[in-house]
């Protein structure tokens, strides 16, 4: 009796640290904790460093009146500064407005989407632009088009009998060609204004 009380326990020294957990199980626990850390870091980096956020109040709209309000009453492409564009695209049963967008290669385009009717999807082929389009919300993504070519966009959420007809295309063209196009458009607009003012 007195012997046991006086001498230290004969267990291996790390027994106290490991709480007697089997090494195999211990490794699985470490892996589980590591995965939690990785997931937490992934979500944090996506949310705070890369800006993947749930829509804020500023992206809430009234789907009943949205098409009467600027800029949605006049959807399409706007050049904010050289090489930087905003594209307002309306998804509705069953078409995208506009159906075609043309930008010079290297352009940074911020795409805004909404719908007056029901849930649609929006995906631009060969890019990571991919979002839902929901009534009452504005979806927003920014993408830089670094390659010349045609990038079709499609509705990827089944939305009724005309779903398969919901598509359009981003034409990414050589910088000079798009500039000419923009000049032409500006000239046309100027001509229209002249005509209107007569
Ligand atoms: Cu819109 Cu499918």
Task: Return the higher-pLDDT residue of 197 and 128.
Answer: 128
Exposure b/e, 17-54, CB count within 10 A at least 16 = b: eeeeeeeeeeeeeeeeeeeeeeeeeeeeeeeeeeeeee
Task: Residue 102: name the closest of 4, 21, 174 by CA.
Answer: 174
pLDDT at site 193: 53
pLDDT at site 2: 47
Task: Residue 175: name the closest of 109, 85, 105 by CA.
Answer: 105
Task: Judge if the beta carbon of residue 79 lies within 6 A of ligand 1.
Answer: no
For residue 105, report the phi and psi dihedrals to the nearest 5 degrees: -60, 140
pLDDT at site 8: 57
Task: Judge if the beta carbon of residue 163 lies within 6 A of ligand 1.
Answer: yes
Task: Check if the beta carbon of residue 87 is closer than 8 Å to that of residue 74.
Answer: no
51 pLDDT exceeds 90? no
Task: Return the higher-pLDDT residue of 31 and 177.
Answer: 31
pLDDT digits (tens, 9 = 90+) for 98-113: 999 999 999 999 999 9
pLDDT confidence of 58, banded at 50, 70, 90?
confident
CA dihedral 32, 37, 41, 47 (to 10 degrees): 70
Task: Judge if the beta carbon of residue 159 lies within 6 A of ligand 1.
Answer: yes
DSSP 11: S
pLDDT at site 16: 67
Out of 57-66, 124-133, 184-193, least confident range = 184-193
Alpha-carbon distances, residue 174 vs 56, 106, 184 (angstroms): 36, 9, 16
pLDDT at site 187: 46
| 19 CA → ligand 1 middle, Å | 57
pLDDT digits (tens, 9 = 90+) for 11-30: 555 666 777 888 899 999 99
As separate numbers, helices (DSSP H) first and strands (DSSP E) second, the chain gives 4, 10
Other CB atoms within a 10 A radius of the CB of residue 70 amount to 7
Task: Judge if the beta carbon of residue 120 lies within 6 A of ligand 1.
Answer: yes
Other CB atoms within a 10 A radius of the CB of residue 164 amount to 10
pLDDT at site 20: 82
**pTM assigned to the model:** 0.68
| 62 CA → ligand 1 middle, Å | 20
pLDDT above 90 covers what percent of the chain?
61
177 pLDDT exceeds 70? no
First to last CA, the chain: 116
Task: Check if the beta carbon of residue 116 is closer than 8 Å to that of residue 110.
Answer: no
- The whole-number average pLDDT for the span 149-159 is 96
Mean pLDDT of the chain: 84
- C-alpha of 140 from chain center: 6
Task: Check if the beta carbon of residue 78 is closer than 8 Å to that of residue 57.
Answer: no
Task: Judge if the beta carbon of residue 166 lies within 6 A of ligand 1.
Answer: yes
User: If you take atom 1 of ligand 1, which residue's CA is the nearest one?
Assistant: 120
pLDDT at site 186: 47
């Amino acid at each position: 009796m007195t012997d046991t009380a006086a001498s230290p326990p004969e267990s291996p020294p790390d027994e106290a640290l490991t709480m007697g957990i089997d090494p195999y199980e211990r490794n699985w626990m470490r892996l589980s904790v590591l995965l939690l850390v990785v997931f937490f870091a992934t979500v944090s980096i996506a949310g705070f460093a890369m800006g993947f956020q749930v829509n804020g109040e500023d992206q809430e709209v009234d789907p009943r009146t949205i098409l009467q309000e600027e800029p949605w009453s006049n959807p399409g492409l706007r050049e904010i500064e050289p090489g930087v564009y905003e594209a307002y695209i309306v998804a509705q049963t069953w078409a995208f407005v506009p159906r075609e967008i043309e930008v010079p290669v290297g352009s940074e385009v911020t795409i805004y989407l909404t719908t007056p009717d029901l849930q649609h999807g929006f995906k631009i082929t060969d890019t990571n632009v991919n979002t839902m389009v929901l009534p009452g919300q504005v979806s927003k993504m920014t993408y830089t088009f670094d390659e010349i070519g045609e990038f079709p966009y499609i509705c990827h959420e089944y939305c009724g009998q005309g779903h398969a007809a919901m598509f359009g295309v981003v034409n990414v063209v050589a910088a000079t060609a798009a500039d000419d196009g923009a000049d032409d458009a500006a000239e046309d607009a100027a001509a229209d204004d002249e005509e209107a003012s007569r």
